[in-house]
Structure 1
Amino acid sequence: MAGIQMLPYGDVDSNLRAMAGCAEGFGRHAIGGLHGSLYIVTNLADDGPGSLREGCRRNEPLWIVFEVSGTIHLSSYLSVSSYKTIDGRGHRVKLTGKGLRLKECEHIIVCNLEFEGGRGHDVDGIQIKPNSRHIWIDRCTLRDYDDGLIDITRQSTDITVSRCYFGQHDKTMLIGADPTHVGDRCIRVTIHHCFFDGTRQRQPRVRFGKVHLYNNYTRNWGVYAVCASVESQIYSQCNIYEAGAKKKTFEFYTEKAADKEEQKSGIIVSEGDMLLNGAQPCLLTQNREVAMFHPSEYYPTWTMEAAAHSLREILQLCTGWQSISRPVDRMVSN
């Protein structure tokens, strides 16, 4: 009913490039490869002509699509240069072994891919650092990496993560890696309409940054659902938190920023959240000295509905990789 009507991005699958600039939240300006050529991935090789890696390393803007389905085994991080869209619609492509690295780049869109089985020290599914901005991660499935599923650190900002599925993992999403990284006060991230399915912790954990969470479903965590550490500001709005054995929904860790004398945690404002199965509410007594942002200071609108059981059912169906056709590219070449 209303839940389906209110899901965001109802028209982005009408035209291949309709996604560009349509993200909600902090990543709303990401245009990816809107003004570039179409690059077609023709094989599942780790590198070489027609490979995903070949398209991602090129300097020019590209809208990258696939004509094959299957698994790409990455022997090293796949670095993505600026103004790229990696668009998995129309095929089922899984990345394994390593993950994507978004390093000193801007205007990236990653859509409808699977990430599973990343192995090695410091191996994340999607690693965003340093100094990257205007990024949108949409409808991706991420599970079972040795480090994080998505990590956003080292002054990377203006990022939206939407409609993603997270499972089979411990330290899910880290935003701000260390209390010495005081430049991370610039970080701004929106996470919405995502499903955190039994991931243990960090849905997300935040240092310094401003994070807007809305209409997400987090269930059966193993330590906590959301953690606010040094100076972070987390606005949790109309999310569903369904506890398993562990009931602590919100955690507050105190740390000392490198340029401060006192240890501080962050702050979480919980507004309209649904707490199920004994999930504990937010304790607003934490770190009142931190000024709290409101999303409307940064973007005028976002597609949100009240947290309800109907939303929970929809998010179980509509998050992560989707079996959808690749839209026609109606762009007229210059």
Structure 2
Amino acid sequence: MRDLFEDTMRAILADQLSAEQVISAEGGEFPVQLWASLEENGVPLALVAEDAGGAGGTLSDVCGLVIACGEHCAPLPIIETMLANYLLAKHGRAPLTGIVSFSASDGLLINKGSVSGALTNVPWGRNCDYVLAAVGAELLVLSAAAARDCQHISNTAGEPRDTLNFEEAKPLISIPMAAGESNKVLLLCGALVRSAQITGAIMRVLMMATDYANERVQFGKPIARFQAVQHQMALLAEQASMAKASCEVAFALSEQSFHEDSIAAAKICSSDAAGVAAGVSHGVHGAIGFTHEYPLHIATRRLWSWRSEFGSSSYWSCLLGERVCVAGADNFWPRLVAGSF
């Protein structure tokens, strides 16, 4: 199942998404045809059970798919829609038709069944039909059209991270959090997928840097043959492998419920690797890597953006550090081996 999902996604993106289209999307042109193709192939329902109209995939099954989206810098909220429908299915609700996004912000309040406040950092808020938000002990589905207004805000990569302002809006769906379920479910969900998208973008810059180093000749030989460049390329490959291993573990351990420790570790590893990868890849490319015409910036600007979304490396490091301290020194090694703090 995993290979089918990943191969399908890679084939669609390779065929229908170019660097020029990504740049156009940054300018506000939503890739309608690409979205239609992804819908036609059932990607938004990949994690929904077959008897509910989905493909019946698991989180482990879609890890490669999410990495592929990161590698191609897919400029649309297909991952957010897929995960939103997954959360609804987990709570026994039917999937939504259309573009769905979610935000981990806590700016909404419920009063007598109505929602008011600002929902910030909504990926593609201006384009979505619905948005998920966690308010108190409830998971809410709101119509984006019910927002009083939408403030257009973009991250460093030019991707929409909008603010939707609501005033006494009625939720379309209100779902009580399951017993023992964290009210940080959307934060965990977002951190999980961003770690995989970062991994994909790192793999992209690794490939670009490798190709360029083998083609660029200096002092009569490819720069890939210089020891200093080889050292930097080895460091970049190491970071890519570490990020991929950590997100694979997080997806695998989150099959039943989101595994907070492994998700924290994945976001830390991928976010830290993002900075190294961007620096090394630009260093290898030299001046040409900083030009707008050369496509390296498409990936590196997303690395700089994604590493701080849904909790930065510092945020998740503090969370893990606090758990280690609370558990005590005697429990450090046993909990480390068990993969839980």
TM-score (normalised: structure 1): 0.24
Higher strand share: 1
Which one has a larger percent helix, Structure 1 or Structure 2?
2
- TM-score normalized with structure 2 length: 0.23
